[in-house]
Structure 1
């Protein structure tokens, strides 16, 4: 069976507050073709058949929900589908004979087809749910963290928009323990001049800060060679002079710089602005061969 063409000229979607999305299709058409073959002791014949459907109508409500894993779920309610007219034509050696029976066949075809439409559509929705259940709601960001963006509630349907509440929490790569703070609900400002609005709470940044801090991403130790190479790469014409200075003073007295966050950095969101507070410790120390490290400078 092959669908050669279809047309849905009158299609609309509308929000049903607190329920889902109503879909409406009217005056649709479809052209379907198939090949057939008859083998019997009396005769054999092959050919094709074309089925033209018109007056295709469908209405139903797609309910948006979620499961325990934070995946979206679709449910079809109030399904009503029917085809008003059908036209069958046959091709083949005995097509003249077959076409003489085509008109009486159209009514039974419509009757059986209209019984099958809603079960077929429901089956397709269930197949789509199977694909949605395979979506990853936990994604690795880098070598330190994972991001959980699963749904935390069923989508909120209003008269004008759909609101998706996503978790948006970072976790250390090897530890999926919940963060020691809870999120605070917030509401997006009322606007209607854009198609999509995205809101990010302080909890998103707090969880990221906590996850990276727990994973040790904010602990950095720079060696003499790394500092030297950084100076040369960013010298902008002073490379030879900096290289000479580094050889005389830096490379001759190797040292290391250690920068580490003592607490998770704190992000505060303000109207039109934000602040970032990074409690950190800064240590410069030397370590000769076969000796312990000796602190030169230490600052908090």
Structure 2
């Protein structure tokens, strides 16, 4: 029953009150139903691979006396879970309901009766399988998600046994008693197996990493800052959404401000990115030195009409060519301080604080400073995600940037 958690995890979890977040995610009912289709397919795959506990017992039966039975090496041969629904439970978690399920199990049987021992193979047809479970979702103190089986009810509408091998022609006449016993055991076992599966995954979640390395410079912390909030048709989660320098002590440059995701019930999934998220990334990349680039003449194509040397710059700055004739230049482009980003209805406003530091490369390998320019610019950017026909991509990021001043 591990697969049931997959349905809920697809429901990524806007918090009212609590700690402000850098990232917010919202899954609506439409997205949860899409996740249900994926979950059912995964359920069929996992149930066919996972071992099923053996069944042992004894019962006094007419003509046969005290019968000791065992059913071992059970495997799922067929599984139909088409009639399944998922929904949000306000303030609690995710409801998972399965109706009219069908399972065909195949395994080995052994009987010990007054007439001796016998065995063979057996088909177990489980009809009208129903299961209703409430999965609770919350937050650990470490910021990791936690899950538990808050409620479970399970039942079967009937079990049909068919023995093969041995004296199966005789024992098939007495299957009704064993069918009743197996149905009772199965009804009790279903919710126990569900709880066991959820507990196993909860253990994995307690050890999961809640930060991801973006590149060789920074990592992103996406731990939960508040517990998930469930409405009747959506669920929300608040994530830290803060960047840090990789392998360095964590320093907080900003404090996130509250923001709210819009209501878009026709959407499956909403992701909200805050100014805190964007400015956190800009500051960390600035400190890591990523927002600087050094250019030399070797990086310019030979056929290009302008080259980084004092002869080319001499028409603009004759004194430079006179003092350093025919010497290569290096140009350091970079940010003097972190760019500042703010979000507005017309797009993302960016204020950049740049510099151009030009130096002359001397024969002894040293660099003589030529001139330094400070250039500040205001930009407006607009971005959109265009869908693509690829199974490995969620879309293509497009954008336009306009210089304001």
2:188 paired with 1:103: no
Question: Is there any run of 5+ residues in structure 1 with no aligned partner, and where?
Answer: 233-238
Question: Structure 1 residue 210: deviation in Å?
Answer: 0.8
From 261, 269, 274, the equivalent of 1:201 is 274
- The answer for the alignment partner of 1:136 in structure 2 is 209
Deviation sequence 1:266-296 (CA, Å, 0-9, x none): 1111113121111122211113122643221
Deviation sequence 1:67-86 (CA, Å, 0-9, x none): 23332222111211111311
In 2, the alpha carbon distance for the partners of 1:56 and 1:293 equals 79
Deviation sequence 1:148-185 (CA, Å, 0-9, x none): 12222222111111112122111111324132211112
CA contact (8 A) 1:179 1:210 kept: no
- The answer for the alignment partner of 2:335 in structure 1 is 261
2:305 paired with 1:242: yes
**Greater alpha carbon shift after TM alignment, 6-15 vs 48-57:** 6-15
2:107 paired with 1:34: yes
From 166, 169, 177, the equivalent of 1:93 is 166
- The answer for the alignment partner of 2:318 in structure 1 is none
Which one has the bigger strand percentage? 2
Question: Is there any run of 5+ residues in structure 2 with no aligned partner, and where?
Answer: 1-73, 313-324, 375-405
The change in CA–CA distance for 1:247 and 1:204 in structure 2 (over 3 A counts) is closer
Deviation sequence 1:78-118 (CA, Å, 0-9, x none): 21111131111100131122212211111111122212111
In 2, the alpha carbon distance for the partners of 1:157 and 1:247 equals 64
- The answer for the alignment partner of 2:8 in structure 1 is none
CA contact (8 A) 2:122 2:163 kept: yes
From 220, 223, 236, the equivalent of 2:296 is 223
Question: Structure 1 residue 186: deviation in Å?
Answer: 0.6
Q: What is the RMSD computed on CA atoms of the aligned residues? A: 2.5
From 274, 277, 288, the equivalent of 2:348 is 274
Q: 1:50-89 maps to which residues of 2 (within 5 A)? A: 50-89=123-162
Deviation sequence 1:6-49 (CA, Å, 0-9, x none): 22243111211111111122222211110246799x96654101
- SS of residue in 1 equivalent to 2:273: coil
- The answer for the alignment partner of 1:13 in structure 2 is 86
In 2, the alpha carbon distance for the partners of 1:272 and 1:54 equals 58
CA contact (8 A) 1:146 1:171 kept: yes
In 1, the alpha carbon distance for the partners of 2:111 and 2:191 equals 31
The change in CA–CA distance for 1:288 and 1:101 in structure 2 (over 3 A counts) is same
The change in CA–CA distance for 1:291 and 1:73 in structure 2 (over 3 A counts) is closer
In 2, the alpha carbon distance for the partners of 1:246 and 1:286 equals 10
The change in CA–CA distance for 1:288 and 1:279 in structure 2 (over 3 A counts) is same
The change in CA–CA distance for 1:36 and 1:166 in structure 2 (over 3 A counts) is same
Aligned length, in residue pairs:
288
In 2, the alpha carbon distance for the partners of 1:30 and 1:263 equals 64
Deviation sequence 1:112-160 (CA, Å, 0-9, x none): 2212111111001112223434543211111211111222222211111
- SS of residue in 2 equivalent to 1:278: strand
2:283 paired with 1:210: yes
